[in-house]
Amino acid sequence: MSSTRKAAAAATALPEGPRPRAGGGGASGTYSVLDFLTDGENDTAGRQLVQLFSGYLYTPVAVAIVELGILGRLAGKALTPEDIAKDAGTDPDATGRLLRAGMAVGLLSGDEDGRFRLSPAGERLGPDAGRLGEMAVLWLEPIREAMVGLAEHVRSGQQVDPAAPGGFWDYLGSHPGEAVKFARAMGYATSRLPGALDAAGYRPPAASRVVDVGGNRGTMLAWLLKALPDAAGVIVDRAEAMATAPDFLGAAGVQHRTELVPGSFFEEVPEGDLHLLSRVLHNWDDKSVRRIVANCAKAGRPGGSLVVVEYVLPAVPEPAAGHLMDVMMMVLYGGRERTLEQHRALIEPCGYALREEFPVGAVDGGQPPLRVLEFART
Ligand SMILES: C[S@@+](CC[C@H](N)C(=O)[O-])C[C@H]1O[C@@H](n2cnc3c(N)ncnc32)[C@H](O)[C@@H]1O
């Protein structure tokens, strides 16, 4: 098996979890209601298929456990369903059933005396659903609905306009609580990038004013400002997306060097000599990408740079994570993931030339999910 195939197979495997005290269970440590349809432990293809079709059970159980704060309540202790229900204000019987389902998905384990505790995977989620638990928020209503409509979308080829009223960004605009949760999830997803880039030896280009375009809470900007200690920073984003930026930038010690500019990158982008577009372009169709990049070029000082972070697709299709992200971009935003050449074809005519391509985030020798594309202002 090639390294990329191995990585893809690993990505479909479900996490190791505890075995129940009695009964069967899957080879992966999680349990599927469809296990009986396989031809046993050695039926690799059958086991892969039942896992694929059990997602509708696993994800909601994990999300409910995160949303109800059960991980935090179980941090460092073992509790009964009644203890948890009393503290969380939930129904005791339903809580017990959810906790037992939590064992089946590998997040919890149970003691003989009816108490539950976190499994190693449950602990990885963090006491108050910090860290990987932030990803639970991606089970947001518009994302669920969009993904459920995938087959219909492929049949009809309908185009989604994320800027249209009722689009995804509008939804976050009218649901500030969800916008904060989305910012936390995005922030967590991006927070591993700076370390991976440092480890891979990437150094950002010199700059005195860095603009994080669609920067959200400024996860990448904080890293750039630490790498460029004399630079000032700007975030331009929708107001609700920047709600957590002051706290985050304050904790990172760069708030005094950062200006927050609420607004749309389709209207105007602040002036600077380094414009960053981190996982922004994949949200948009080609026409919108040209408008965003053209606005960056217009605001770019001579000799400046544009740094793009994306799930750059392999030129020849491979089992890469970017292809999965691509279908989500299609149904949710009308956006798309692109190959290197597709990025160049859109970006270079706006006034940039590719300077460097930097792969980042490969796990176990697999396809690196993300790439940094550094362009010079021409
Ligand atoms: C996928 S998130 C990426 C966030 C951040 N750059 C990162 O890498 O963590 C896309 C961002 O684009 C912002 N955005 C959407 N429409 C925008 C617009 N018209 N003008 C400025 N920002 C916008 C969203 O609010 C969101 O913060």
Is the separation of the CB atoms in 320 and 11 below 8 Å?
A: no
**Ligand 1 atom, smallest distance to 219 CA:** 9
Cα 221 to ligand 1 centre (Å): 13
- Average pLDDT in the chain: 87
Strand, helix or coil for residue 256: helix
Residues 6+ apart with CB under 8 A from 165: none
For 143-157, 178-192, 256-270, which range has the lowest pLDDT when averaged over its residues? Answer: 178-192
Report the pLDDT value the prediction gives residue 5, as an integer from 0 to 100.
36
Q: Poorest-confidence range of 191-195, 284-288, 361-365?
A: 361-365
pLDDT, greater one: 293 or 176 = 293
**Domain of 13, in residue numbers:** 3-126
Asked if the structure places residue 133 within a domain, the reply is no
Q: Report how far ligand 1's centroid is from the alpha carbon of 220 (Å).
A: 12
Verify that 214 and 183 share a domain, yes or no: yes
Nearest CA to ligand 1 atom 8: 278
CATH number at residue 199: 3.40.50.150
Instruction: Check if 276 has its Cβ closer than 6 Å to any atom of ligand 1.
Output: no
Per annotation, catalytic residue among 153, 275, 282, 343: 282
Q: Is 282 in the pocket of ligand 1 (CB under 6 A)?
A: no
More confident residue, 314 or 375: 375
111 belongs to a structural domain: yes
pLDDT value of position 128: 53
Whether the CB of 264 sits within 6 Å of ligand 1: yes
Whether 58 is in the pocket of ligand 1, judged by its Cβ within 6 Å, is no
pLDDT of residue 22: 28
Quick one: 119 and 162 in the same domain?
no
134 occurs within a structural domain:
no
**Residue 140's pLDDT is what?**
80
Report if residue 131 sits inside a domain: no
Q: Is residue 135 part of a domain?
A: no
Are 289 and 245 members of one domain? Answer: yes
Residue 251 has pLDDT above 60, yes or no: yes
Last residue of a domain, one of 98, 126, 154: 126
Comparing 127 with 285, the larger pLDDT belongs to 285
Q: What is the pTM of this model?
A: 0.87
Q: What is the pLDDT of residue 16?
A: 40
**Protein residue with its CA nearest to atom 13 in ligand 1:** 214
Residues 102 and 207 placed together within one structural domain of the fold = no
Give the span between the Cα atoms of 213 and 333, in whole angstroms.
18
Count other Cβ atoms within 10 Å, centred on residue 53.
Answer: 12
For residue range 136-168, list pLDDT tens digits in order: 777 788 888 899 999 999 999 888 887 777 788
Q: Lay out the sheet containing 272-278: strands in order across.
A: 258-262, 232-237, 209-213, 272-278, 300-310, 370-377, 352-360
Ligand 1, closest atom to CA 216? 27
pLDDT at site 352: 98
Q: What is the pLDDT of residue 125?
A: 80
Q: Which percentage of the chain shows pLDDT scores above 90?
A: 60
Q: How confident is the model at residue 133 (pLDDT cuts 50, 70, 90)?
A: confident
Average pLDDT estimate for 351-376: 84
Question: Per residue in 23-66, pLDDT tens?
Answer: 234 444 567 777 788 888 899 999 889 888 888 899 999 999 98
3 vs 364, more confident: 364
Q: Over 80: is that where the pLDDT of 8 sits?
A: no
323 classed as catalytic: no
Instruction: Measure Cα distances from 88 to 71, 134, 200 in Å.
Output: 11, 19, 43
CA 152 to mean position of chain CA atoms: 24
Give me the pLDDT at residue 136, please: 78
